[in-house]
Chains A and B, each alone.
Chain A
Amino acid sequence: MQVNEYKPKIVAFCCNWCSYAGADGAGSARLAYPAEVKIIRVPCSCRVNPMFILRAFQRGADGVIIAGCHPGDCHYTSGNYFTRRRMALLFSMLDYLGIERERTRVEWISAAEGAKFSKTMSEFAATVASLGENKRLEDLRCKQ
């Protein structure tokens, strides 16, 4: 029987210093996570503009995750603290608009935490998959 399994599209913004290296670590250790997760490298989680997240949703992403250094360990001292405030407000707003909160997430993953990277991405992909297709934000999309 052919089951057409739904595969979500997930964009992962990873900071260059911790989480991108953590993703590399997951790779080196062969710690699998779903192929739906595609990573975009940014210098710091604070480089992630809410516009990028909305843009991803607009273009068809089903989930967006931002991964950065643990609070206190930011390569740039304070970047992730700003990320935390910005995303706390943005996520709360998405919730307020009735858009599933579970489609967005912030995680702190260090360069040494390949296992955490793999686990986090697997969990997030499963959560997003369980929500199904991004219907609510689909209305946001400008199909071109």
Chain B
Amino acid sequence: MQAMMEKRAKELLADGTVNRVLGWSAGEFPYDITPAVFETAKELEDAFVYNDFCAANLSKYLVKESRKEGKILVFLKPCDTYSFNQLLAEHRILRENIYVIGVPCYGKADVEKLKAMGIEGITGIVMQNGTYTVETVYGDQTVKAADAMAERCLSCKSKKHVVYDELLGDEGEVDADCNRFDMVEKLEAMTPDERFAFWRGELSRCIRCNACRNVCPACTCEQCVFDNPNSGVSQKAAVTSFEENLFHIIRAFHVAGRCTDCGECSRVCPQHIPLHLLNRKFIKDINEFYGDYQAGADPEAKPPLGTYDKADREAGEGGRH
């Protein structure tokens, strides 16, 4: 797949369709991957990579990149296309400056899970038939995909690309029965005390590094309210307390109805806080209260918080306890 992508990227650069390519670049280690913009065939040859460690959702970079001179090629995994559509709906990206190639994804590997299994010296990874073949300096090792896959990919909602100019690989399908709300339901079933304890445990670890916000494709504000001294909510230093959930509640609310559930927030959290569980709660509530809604599935759809029904439930209605 990487070779195919590189070939197409070179062709499109060569024929002038695009002047830049947004993709993933290998770092010192094969799992040490960063998003990058490539401008020449040479740069692509040197650093372009696409493997089962390429987890980053590239859509957010288009907010800035699509405003630059010339057209840019972007590779999007299925879940990234939802973010792309959502950004499009919010006029955050300029579609005419973007060439989208959909690339398949069968679930990205979580390098920390591999490391926890004692696998060291990783040089590469290949997924086939539900198994990761991990190449290491000590030889290949095979791991069941389910054991090493990133949490978010284990409950993948869709392998379908909802937008593309060109698709490499086969068209995937939406998984209507994915189990992504299992953990939310588990929390809902707890007593308020248990839930409070759970969240205090999780959120008290927050160091307010802002990684979640900075990676979030829904958080594309020109200036975040938390950075704006005039907004009244900006805070200077983080306090090592549960205080951080004010930030997380507001952030979750700001992306409510807009969050596509790409899971980037939890992926990048250095403290491993399951932030996606906040967003998923809003998604689940929106589905239950106002009918199924998947942000980004249809850029023309009315956002749930931008519309209403006269027969909507009352606030607090049907709540637990």
Contact = CB atoms under 8 A, between A and B. Distances in A.
Complex: A in contact with B (CB within 8 Å): yes
Given A89-B285, A141-B243, A98 B195 contact: yes
Contacts of A136: 196
B321 A101 contact: yes
Instruction: Give the interface size bracket for A toward B.
Output: 35 or more
Interface stretch (A3-11, A33-41, A80-88): A80-88
A46 B30 CA distance: 50
Contact of A87 (B308, B310, B315, B320): B315
Nearest to B282: A89
Interface residues of B, number: 48
Contacts of A54: 246, 249-250
Contacts of B239: 142
A72 B198 CA distance: 40
A81, A86, A96, most chain B CB atoms within 10 A: A96
A84 B195 contact: no
Contact of B196 (A51, A71, A87, A99): A99
Contact of A84 (B245, B314, B320): B314
A92 B285 contact: yes
A115 to B, nearest CB: 20
B181 interface: no
A140 B308 contact: no
Interface in A29-66: 50-51, 54-55, 58
Nearest to B308: A81
B312 A101 contact: no
A98 B286 contact: no
Interface stretch (B139-147, B148-156, B185-193, B209-217): B185-193
B199 A95 contact: no
Interface string A117-139: 00000000000000000001001
A81 B184 CA distance: 26
B233 interface: yes
Given A85-B305, A86-B305, A140 B245 contact: yes
A139 B312 CA distance: 33
A108 B230 CA distance: 31
B312 A81 contact: yes
18 contacts: A51-B225, A51-B250, A54-B246, A58-B243, A82-B305, A82-B308, A85-B290, A89-B282, A92-B319, A93-B278, A93-B282, A95-B192, A96-B281, A97-B196, A101-B319, A101-B321, A142-B235, A142-B243
Nearest to B248: A97
Contacts of A141: 243
Nearest to A94: B249
Given A98-B196, A98-B199, A85 B312 contact: yes
Interface of B: 184, 187-188, 192-200, 225, 232-233, 235, 239, 241-243, 245-246, 249-250, 252-253, 256, 278, 281-282, 285-286, 289-290, 304-305, 308-310, 312-317, 319-321
Nearest to A97: B199
B289 A97 contact: no
Contacts of B245: 97, 140
Contacts of B278: 93
Contact of A140 (B192, B243, B314): B243
Contacts of B313: 84, 88
A95 B305 CA distance: 19
A16 interface: no
B249 A97 contact: yes
Nearest to A54: B246
A96 B195 contact: yes
B253 A93 contact: yes
A58 B313 CA distance: 28
Contacts of B286: 89
B289 A89 contact: yes
Given A81-B312, A86-B305, 4 more contacts: A84-B312, A90-B315, A93-B282, A95-B319
A71, A78, A86, A88, most chain B CB atoms within 10 A: A88
B315 A88 contact: yes
Contacts of B199: 97-98
A21 B195 CA distance: 39
Nearest to B256: A89
Contacts of B309: 81
Given A54-B246, A139-B241, A142-B243, A96 B188 contact: yes
